[in-house]
A = this chain, B = another copy of it.
Amino acid sequence: MRPKLDFWYEFASTYSYLAALRIEALAKERNVDIAWRPFLLGPIFKAQGWDTSPFNLFPHKGAYMWRDIERLCDAQGLKFRRPEPFPQSSLLAARLALTPEVTPRRAEFSRRVYLVHFAEGARIDDEAVLRGIVESLGLDADTALTQSRSDAVKLGLRQATDEAMRLKLFGAPSFVTLKGEVFWGNDRLETALGWASKERS
């Protein structure tokens, strides 16, 4: 069995953008398969009494994050444009990622959502923007949007977020190995891949 790593990401998360755009190349070098696991951070933040991103609740931390992301995007060769407002609801993007129509292309869909949101500054809570991304993949946007409203997809996203809570995830991106070792943050991606590649199942 090939080593595997679960990549837990939130579409509104800046550091998830950085991880999403580099994880597949790094995983390939180490022969690790990546499972793309979108989830919502909102309910997790709410459970600890936060009604928005910690980067808004704690302004110094927020100001630092924007500068840090700018430096990291420069180093990674990625464009960056700060979305306004921040954060935006990622509910529809996450549901679309879980639809049968998008699932076979979930990684590429997710990368495109991140680029549109954080490189171009477009809104990810705008159905038209997401429709355009689905279409850019050659997929059927009407089918994907209809499926995104189905009970199965809604439940799937709730279950993913519940699973993230059971794993005690508290931020994104997070990486979880087959044996349950958890790593938090884009900075831990290499370590997480190395750990996953050494785990024997």
Q: Mark A52-73, 1 if CB is under 8 A from B, else 0.
A: 0000001011011001100100
Let me know if B170 and A61 touch, CB within 8 A.
yes
Q: Which A residues, 24 to 52, have Cβ-Cβ distances below 8 Å to chain B?
A: 48
Which chain B residues lie closer than 8 Å to A171 at the CB level? Answer: 61
Which chain B residues lie closer than 8 Å to A187 at the CB level? Answer: 185, 187
- A169 proximal to B (CB < 8 A): yes
Chain B's closest residue to A57 (CB) is B48
Let me know if A184 and B48 touch, CB within 8 A.
no
* Docked pose: A68 CA to B184 CA in angstroms: 9
- A182 proximal to B (CB < 8 A): yes
* Docked pose: A196 CA to B101 CA in angstroms: 49
Q: Which A residues, 68 to 99, have Cβ-Cβ distances below 8 Å to chain B?
A: 68, 71
* Docked pose: A48 CA to B61 CA in angstroms: 11
A47 CB, min distance to chain B CBs, angstroms: 9
Let me know if B60 and A168 touch, CB within 8 A.
yes
Let me know if B48 and A168 touch, CB within 8 A.
no
* Docked pose: A131 CA to B66 CA in angstroms: 43
Let me know if A168 and B64 touch, CB within 8 A.
yes
* Docked pose: A185 CA to B168 CA in angstroms: 22
Q: Mark A137-175, 1 if CB is under 8 A from B, else 0.
A: 000000000000000000000000000000011110000
* Docked pose: A184 CA to B170 CA in angstroms: 19
Contact of A184 among B64, B184, B188 (CB under 8 A): B64
Contact of A58 among B71, B170, B182 (CB under 8 A): B170
Q: Can you list 10 A-B contacts (CB < 8 A)?
A: A58-B170, A60-B169, A60-B170, A61-B170, A63-B168, A64-B168, A64-B184, A68-B188, A185-B187, A187-B187
